[in-house]
A = this chain, B = another copy of it.
Amino acid sequence: MAKIHGLKWVVCLASSILINIFFVLNIDLRRSPELTWSREAAVEAEAVAAVSCSGHGRAFLDGSTMEGIPACECNSCYGGPHCSEFSPDGCPLDVDLGDPLFLEPFWMQHSKSSAVVVAGWHRMSYSDGIGSSILFSKELTNHIFQLHALVGNAITKGRFILFGVGSSQLLHAAVHALSQQGSSHPACVVATAPFYPLYEFQTELFDSEDFKFQGDTTLWKNTSSANSSTNIIEFVTSPNNPDGRLTKPVLQGPSVKTIHDHAYYWPHFTAIQGPADEDLMLFTLSKVTGHGGSRFGWALIKDKDLYQRMLMYLSLNTIGVSQDTQLRALKILKVVLKGGGEIFEFGYNTMKARWERLNEILSASRRFSIQKLEPQYCNYFQNVTGPSPAYAWLKCEREEDLDCHAVLKAASIIGRKGNLFRAESRYVRLSLIKYEDDFDLLLHRIKVLVSKEEGSKNM
C-alpha cells in the first residue's frame, strides 16, 4: 500500500518536474533572444495597434490621445470613439488627393515582416562620411534595383540613382538641372493636357529666370522644329495622371529634353509593356507600396552631368532625404521582394475590381462618362490584364454641366477640378486609390446621382 502511495508521489513529482522542464525550454524557445532596449517601444506600438476602431479607422502611435490612449482616426463620414458611427448624410467625401491608402490592408496583413525598430541613435549623421554631404543608402539602392528587375518596368543598368523627398522634389530638381544644360534661356517647360498640376505649379512657384511654364505641348508641336534653338523640357507621364493612358513624348529634337514621370508604372495600375529605358525616369514609393506619407522617390539618370546637377539641387534644397525614411523604405521593399510580387496581385486585384464596379454603375448613365481603357498584355503578369487605373477621369456630358466639380460637390463628392489639369472644367479627377470605405461611399453617391437621371439607361 505504501509502495503504491509512493508511486503516486513519484508520478506527481515527475509530472511537475516535466512541467518545469517544459517551462524552461519554452522560455528559451519563445524568448530567445531576450529583448532589452527595444521592448518598451514594441509594447507601446502593439498597445496602440490593438486599439479597436471598428475597421473604419486606426489609431497611430503619434495620434492625439484621449485619457493617455491614442484616439481612433476615422475614415471619412465615420465617427465616434471607435469609428463605429456612420453618418453619410452631407458629409463631404474627399476623393481629390491621390493618397494610396488602398494598400493599407496589405501592410496590416504583413505587419510582422514590415515593422521596423528605429534606435534613438540610428544614423544621426546626414553625411556618408566619405566625401558626400548627403547619404543615400546603398542597401536601399540595391533593393530598388531588384524591385525594377522583379517588375521589369525599368532598366537600371548604367544608371545613376538619386533619392528625393517624394518624386515631388525630384520633378523640380529635374527641371532645374535640365534648364542649366540648355544653351538658350529660359527653357520652356511643357506637358500634354490633361497633365498633373504640380508640373505647372512648381515651375511657376520658383519663378526662375532659367525656365518658364509654357502650357501644352500642342502649342509647340508645330512651331518647334528639330532645328529650333529653344530649349524645351517636356514632362511625359506614363501612365498618365489623370487618365491612366500610356503615353510617349510629343516633342522631339536636339533641344528637347524629357522628364519621364513613371509614378504609376506598376502592375497595380497598368499593364507593364516592358522595361522603360529613358534618359531620366522618376518613381515614387507612394504609388508602389502606398507609403505616401513617407515622402520618398527616386530618379534613374543616364547622364552624369545631369545627375550631378540634380544632386547639387537636392543637397542645397533639403540636404538629402530623411534617414528614418530610408530605413523604413528598405524594410518595406524587403517585404515586397520577399513576397515575390504578392503586393502587385493584391494591388491589381483591388484596383481592377474598383474600376469594374465603377464602370458598371456608370454604364447606366448618360450624364457622366469616364475614360475608356482597353485590356492589354502585361509582361509582368504574363497575361492580358484589364484596366485598373488610379483615377477616374470623369466627364459631365450634359451641356449645362459646365462646372463638373460643382455638380459632384452638390452630391458631397470632392474631386479635383479638370481645369487644374489644363482640361475643360467639365472634367473632374476622382481618386480611386483611397480606403475601401472611401471608394464604397463614392460608388454609393455616384449611384444615387445616376439613379436620379431622367432617362438614365437603367430606368
User: Contact residues of A with B, CB < 8 Å?
Assistant: 2, 5-6, 9-10, 12-13, 16-17, 19-20, 23-24, 27, 31, 33, 35-47, 49, 58, 60-65, 73, 76, 94, 97, 99-101, 103-104, 107-108, 110-127, 129, 133, 135, 137-140, 165-166, 168-169, 172, 176, 198, 201-202, 205-210, 286, 290-296, 312-313, 316-328, 330-332, 335
Contact = CB atoms under 8 A, between A and B. Distances in A.
A97 B133 contact: yes
Given A9-B13, A46-B37, A318-B168, A97 B292 contact: no
26 contacts: A6-B9, A12-B13, A13-B16, A16-B17, A27-B27, A38-B117, A41-B42, A41-B115, A41-B117, A64-B138, A97-B127, A97-B133, A99-B127, A101-B124, A111-B120, A111-B121, A115-B119, A123-B293, A126-B295, A165-B165, A168-B316, A168-B319, A172-B317, A294-B323, A295-B319, A295-B320
B295 A322 contact: yes
A13, A316, A322 — most chain B CB neighbours (10 Å): A322
Which of A24, A64, A198, A292 has the most B CB atoms < 10 Å from its CB?
A292
A67 B204 CA distance: 50
Contacts of A198: 316
A27 B27 CA distance: 8
Given A38-B46, A120-B331, A126-B286, 19 more contacts: A9-B10, A9-B12, A13-B16, A20-B23, A23-B24, A33-B43, A35-B39, A37-B46, A38-B115, A60-B327, A97-B126, A104-B124, A108-B121, A111-B119, A111-B120, A115-B118, A118-B324, A202-B316, A206-B208
A169 B165 CA distance: 11
Contact of A290 (B124, B286, B326): B124
Contacts of A2: 2, 5-6
Contacts of A23: 20, 23-24, 27
A291 B210 CA distance: 35
A335 B117 contact: no
B115 A120 contact: yes
Contacts of A335: 120
A11 to B, nearest CB: 10
Copies in the complex: 2
B60 A123 contact: yes
Contacts of A45: 38, 116-119
Contact of A324 (B33, B123, B140, B324): B324
Given A97-B133, A121-B107, A124-B293, A112 B37 contact: yes
Nearest to A205: B316
A330 B290 CA distance: 23
B139 A120 contact: no
A412 to B, nearest CB: 14
Interface centre among A20, A115, A202, A286 (most CB of B within 10 A): A115
Given A17-B16, A322-B294, A120 B127 contact: no
Nearest to A327: B62
A321 B19 CA distance: 53
A73 B127 CA distance: 12
Contacts of A94: 127, 129
Contact of A317 (B123, B126, B168): B168
A333 B124 CA distance: 15
B324 A322 contact: yes
Nearest to A318: B165
A330 B62 contact: yes
A208 B211 CA distance: 10
A274 to B, nearest CB: 29
A42 B186 CA distance: 53
A323 B293 CA distance: 5
Contacts of A97: 126-127, 133
Contacts of A113: 40, 120
A316 B172 CA distance: 10
Q: 7 closest A-B pairs (Cβ-Cβ)?
A: A114-B120, A9-B9, A45-B117, A293-B323, A16-B16, A107-B120, A107-B121
B99 A125 contact: yes
